[in-house]
Amino acid sequence: FLLVGCSSKIMKSPISYSKENTLETKVDSVMKLMTLEEKVGQLNQYNGFWEITGPTPKEGQAAKKYEDLKKGLVGSMLNVKGVKDVRALQKIAVEQTRLGIPLIFGFDVIHGYKTISPIPLAEAASWDLEAIKKSAEIAAEEASSVGLNWTFAPMVDISRDPRWGRVMEGAGEDTYLGSKIAHARVKGFQGDKPGELNSVMACAKHFAGYAFAESGRDYNTVDVSETTLQNTIFPPFKAAVDAGVRTFMNSFNEISGIPSTGNSYLQRKILKGEWNFNGFVVSDWGSIGEMINHYEEVYVSDRE
């Protein structure tokens, strides 16, 4: 999906396209033109890192990231919003990189952008699925108007421990209601035809088991049965897939000693295999580094 909407620079390559070509064929053609470094680079997401419309950074970390952007080694940006800044970065990505692959701009639009709706837990208490879908539609329209095209919502974790600090971002403890709301919010953000100007990509998070952390402590160990995974935790995520959600976000926790960020059972067997999800998965903030902490915890426990 990172390659959708590539610039005319790619069209000037020896590869020609007919109207009958599918989107997948075009993406595959671009992939063949990319170096391994560029492919890996498209997996990078950078936070807004300098005054975009100001002087170009000459040294330091900002300068390095600026050079990475010009080399086509950045796939998406976080916390960059507003037409002026989005356009400035997109201009670099499309006009100054070798292949002109546009950036994706993401932002936490959780329960409204300018027009603020009740928090998701309060919306869930209404059982009004049409109102919940409408609030997501309004948020998408406002967010897309300032150049954003990706939101890190909805959070579809089923949560049953009030000690967990993020219960207000989800739909509560009921799997049936959570599944209905997951479907409604995805449809609200993305519309019936994802990619239209007034829509944004949705992101189902956090896959999986994040809200079942022991003692309600964030990032903590999760110890649940397969029955709980299949009947309580998974259904809202499956409902999001059925609604056409374009992206998933992994969770910080580990399950049975395996961090969700690198859990092939979750991401390969279930998500990509059984559910045929054809979008992409984004890591949660710093979750790749958090795998080290989970490894040390499991390693020490096993040794003892």
Would you please indicate which residues are annotated as catalytic (active-site) residues?
284
DSSP characters over the chain? -TTTT--HHHHTSS----TT--HHHHHHHHHHHS-HHHHHHTT-EEE--S-TTSPPP-SHHHHHHHHHHHTT---EEES--SHHHHHHHHHHHHHTSSS-PPPEEEE--SS-SSSPPPPHHHHHHHT-HHHHHHHHHHHHHHHHHTT--EE---B------TTSTTGGGS--S-HHHHHHHHHHHHHHHH-SSTT-TT--B-EEEEETTGGG-GGG-TT-EE---HHHIIIIIHHHHHHHHHTT--EEEE-SSEETTEEGGG-HIIIIIIIIIIS---SEEE--TTHHHHHHHHHHHHHHHHH-
